[in-house]
Amino acid sequence: MKETPLSNCERRFLLRAIEEKKRLDGRQTYDYRNIKISFGTDYGCCIVELGKTRVLGQVSCELVAPKLNRATEGILFFNLELSQMAAPSFEPGRQSDLLVKLNRLLERCLRNSKCIDTESLCVVAGEKVWQIRVDLHLLNHDGNIIDAASIAAIVALCHFRRPDVSVQGEEVTLYTPEERDPVALSIHHMPICVSFAFFQQGTYLLVDPNEREERVMDGLLVIAMNKHREICTIQSSGGIMLLKDQVLRCSKIAGVKVAEITELIQKALENDQKVRKEGGKFGFAESIANQRITTFKMEKAPIDTSDVEEKAEEIIAEAEPPSEVVSKPVLWTSGTAQIGEGVENSWGDLEDSEKDEDEGGSDEAVILDKMKMDTGVEVSDIGSQDAPIVLSDSEEEEMIILEPDKNPKKISTQTSAKQEKAPIKKPVKRRKKKRTAN
């Protein structure tokens, strides 16, 4: 699924806002979005939120054989994954150009800058070394993935603890965290990436662009630097020509931002370590603020139960006494009972359609009785004079239409077995013959 391009109206609106030094989220030109760092229960697990961009970092280790050309150095491996959970435009199971570019930039920033002492990861030269793997998962994409990923990677590495080992001759013993305290990694410095977006061929500059600003930018400059103002890597993309003064200006801004972010990371690590030593609550669930809809649990509030009996007696004394009237059961029919005032049983009441049918049937019965009295002949006998009655198993009914001057006729009508209501018969009025006077 490809990324939906912006319309011309949205593009013009964003560019005009940038020209007026205004941003959609209310920030100034050189402002960074808020950074939030939360740690998991295990060492080496963290979530970094850069505005609405969220990255999950997880570090793992394994004892493997070293590389042939570097027998005394450990292995450092980085892997960034872009899933459709972060943005629908990312294609699963396929390495896009953006993903390849981000992975290479992370390796240059963290591995090639020698921020981790890889020689301290060696257990037995030429046989056993530690392989440190850093997995980064993008949870939500709102722009500036590389900055959030670099912060998550370095925070996870600083927070990680590997198991302790001992070597006796050719035997390597691996200790669990219960037997020996895990060992932290040897980190020399913290390289952090800072991104700069250029618009109108380098005329306008923004720090930490969001997702919509990245769509309309002309070029991107990424500077990786530590708090000592040492540039670890620099990369320019987009095909724009930058002047020397612009690059120097960006490097000065990056130095200030990196110092602020490094201080924030160190405070977060110190707070987490302090909470773990004191035996307090830690983890992702504890980082969520209470009194919110997304809260998993709330703090237990103390309840005073010393005067519960006294309060219960006061409530009973102040309450109104129960009524002495006891409802008597009403027996409508045998086997039924009703307590209290209720609505009478309506099972025996007929519906309107059934009432109409009963009225129609009663009218026909009255007319047939009158015919018997006048003629002295039963209706069934009249029908038997013309043709014999044949009995059959078919579901048919015989309907006789009574006329004054003609013989009655039989009309058979087919009825369905599932039909509940019989056809409505129209009553036929019989004309009375005038008696002739003798």
Phi, psi at 414, each rounded to 5°: -85, 125
Per-residue pLDDT at 11: 87
- Helix axis angle, 244-278 to 145-159, nearest 10°: 40
Per-residue pLDDT at 433: 47
Topology of domain 33-285, CATH = Ribosomal Protein S5; domain 2 (3.30.230)
Query: With the C-alpha atoms ordered 103, 104, 109, 114, is the resulting torsion angle positive or negative?
Result: positive
Question: Which tokens go with 164?
Answer: 């302790």
Closest CA to 341 of 332, 329, 351: 329
Per-residue pLDDT at 377: 47
Per-residue pLDDT at 382: 44
Distance of alpha carbon 43 from alpha carbon 132, whole angstroms: 13
Per-residue pLDDT at 62: 92
Question: Which tokens go with 194?
Answer: 């800072």
Cα first-last separation, the chain: 106
Distance of alpha carbon 116 from alpha carbon 75, whole angstroms: 10
Question: Which tokens go with 371?
Answer: 């015919």
Per-residue pLDDT at 95: 79
Amino acid, res. 189: H
Stretches where the chain sits below pLDDT 50 are 1, 377-385, 390-392, 406, 408-422, 428, 432-438
What global pTM score does this model have?
Answer: 0.65
The two counts, helices (H) then strands (E), for the chain are: 9, 18
Per-residue pLDDT at 416: 45
Per-residue pLDDT at 92: 76
Domain boundaries, the chain: 33-285
